[in-house]
A and B are shown apart, each in its own frame.
Chain A
Amino acid sequence: MDTHESDLAVLRSVGIIQQKQKGLFVMRLHAVGGDLKATQLRTIADVALRYGKGKVHLSTRQGMEIHNVRYEDIQQAKQELASAGIQMGACGPRIRIVVACPGSATCRWGLIETKGIARALDKKYFRKVMPHKFKISVTGCPNNCAKATENDAGVMGGVLPRWGGASCIKCDLCLHSCPTEAITREGEKYLLKREDCILCGICIALCPTSSWTAAQKGYTLFIGGTMGKRPRLGTRILDLIGNKQELYALIARVIGYYREHGKARERFGHMIDRLGPDKVIKEIVCE
């Protein structure tokens, strides 16, 4: 089955990608934060059995793909998936499906509710055309399970701890369990080195007397992370962002900046390195 290049480009834009076997296609499904309903899984299974080879593939970004779909079956398969509320994904120089860890809804380390943010960002940006592919992740805490620092824009929950001495029994648990050794002890007092604190909240979670408490909670935003052929970890541009409105406004500026300054086929992180991270951060944050 011969397909025109223009057809293929249209299909690719919605995550339907020609395999190396001519006439067979990958159908990438839209699952924000890796969430699908059990009933949707039934539909996916039916479609995979009917039009694929009875197999589904789990992607590295929480996605689900049906492989080996014939060109002539694509529309029917799409319709059946759509009837269960499953849309197609994205491919090419676009904003991809937003990934997210389970967050505070279920994880005991989660500092923020991740899935709602992922859905809001996906709703606003999914498939928007960019200079190159653009990946967004939302992760609940500095454990970074959803790899915020490996995405073009990564949101991470954070909490700034504060020590109050009244009930402290000087057990030194905070001193020894802090992953970055940001806590020191001076006599009967514990001190936090703010520049070394990664806002993980382990001291707060573990403290047996609740002497460490949350002084401030918020979102950390990383930009320019990428894996691939030239890996680069994301650059932290701001932390303890106090509310979602501020976070969303900052992400809008980040995306606008890349659209304005990024060259075609240049990943965001590489653009940042070309222009200089300090300059980029300054221009985005102080805009």
Chain B
Amino acid sequence: MSEEVHKTLDIRGVACPMNYVKVLMALEDLKPGERLEAMLDDGKALIDIPRSAKQDGHKVVKVTPEGDAYSVVIEKGGVT
């Protein structure tokens, strides 16, 4: 599996649930196994986004703090 990021998304300041809706829309453009990097706020988003992604079969593969925000790399699920 490639570790390259195929798409980036900035959802800082976007409230729940729209921040996750934007993640889902961005993932739609990717193939299973490809990766999306989302920039999100500290706090609730860092719990809600990974939790929803896990429930929908996607996988967080890296979380990196960037100042007051976080870079979260999500691998699209559905690889068979």
A-B pair number, CB within 8 angstroms: 34
Write 19 A-B pairs (CB below 8 A) sorted by A numbering.
Answer: A171-B60, A171-B61, A172-B62, A172-B63, A172-B64, A173-B60, A173-B63, A176-B46, A176-B65, A177-B46, A177-B47, A177-B63, A202-B47, A205-B51, A206-B60, A208-B50, A208-B54, A208-B59, A209-B59
Chain A 170-213 interface 0/1 with B at a Cβ cutoff of 8 Å (1 = within): 01110111000000000000000000000000100110110000
Give Cα A177–Cα B49 distance, bound, in whole angstroms. Answer: 11
Q: How far is the CB of A206 from chain B (nearest CB, A)?
A: 5
User: Bound complex: CA of A206 vs CA of B59, how far in Å?
Assistant: 10
Q: Which of B47, B70, B72 has the most CB of A within 10 A?
A: B47
Given contacts A206-B54, A208-B54, contact A171 B47 (CB under 8 A): no
A173 touching B64, Cβ below 8 Å: no
Tell which of A175, A206, A209 touches B51, judged by Cβ atoms closer than 8 Å.
A206
A238 on interface, CB distance cutoff 8 Å: no
A 137-169 to B, binary, CB cutoff 8 A, 1 in contact else 0? 000000000000000000000000000000001
In whole angstroms, how far apart are the Cα atoms of A80 and B72 in the complex? 58
Question: Which residues of A are at the interface with B, using a C-beta cutoff of 8 A?
Answer: 169, 171-173, 175-177, 202, 205-206, 208-209
Instruction: Give the residues in chain A near B46, CB-CB below 8 Å.
Output: 176-177
CA–CA, A209 and B62, complex, Å: 12
Q: Restricting to B33-71, which residues have a CB under 8 Å from any CB of A? A: 46-47, 50-51, 54, 59-65, 70
> Do A176 and B70 touch across chains, with their CB atoms under 8 A apart?
yes
A208 to B52, CA, bound (A): 11
Residues of B within 8 A of A171 (CB): 60-63
A169 touches B63 (CB 8 A): no
Q: Does A176 contact B61, Cβ atoms closer than 8 Å?
A: no
The reply to whether A169 and B50 contact each other, CB–CB distance below 8 Å, is no
Q: Which residues of B contact A208 (CB under 8 A)?
A: 50, 54, 59-61
For B47, give the chain A residue with the smallest CB separation: A177
Q: Bound state CA distance, A176 and B60, in angstroms?
A: 13
- B65: chain A residues within 8 A (beta carbon): 176
* B72 (CB) vs chain A CBs: closest residue: A173
A172 to B61, CA, bound (A): 8
For the complex of A and B, 9 pairs with smallest distance between CB atoms:
A208-B59, A173-B63, A172-B63, A208-B60, A206-B50, A176-B63, A173-B60, A171-B62, A177-B46
B32 smallest CB distance to A (angstroms): 15
B49 to chain A, nearest CB (A): 10
A169 to B51, Cβ gap below 8 A? Answer: no
- A275 and B59 CA atoms in complex are apart in Å by 52
Q: In the bound complex, do residue B60 and residue A175 qualify as a contact, i.e. CB atoms below 8 Å apart?
A: no
CB distance from A172 to the nearest CB of B (A): 5
Inter-chain contacts of B62 with A (CB < 8 A): 171-172
Measured CB to CB, the nearest residue on chain B to A210 is: B54
Q: Say how far A106's CB is from chain B's closest CB, in angstroms.
A: 16
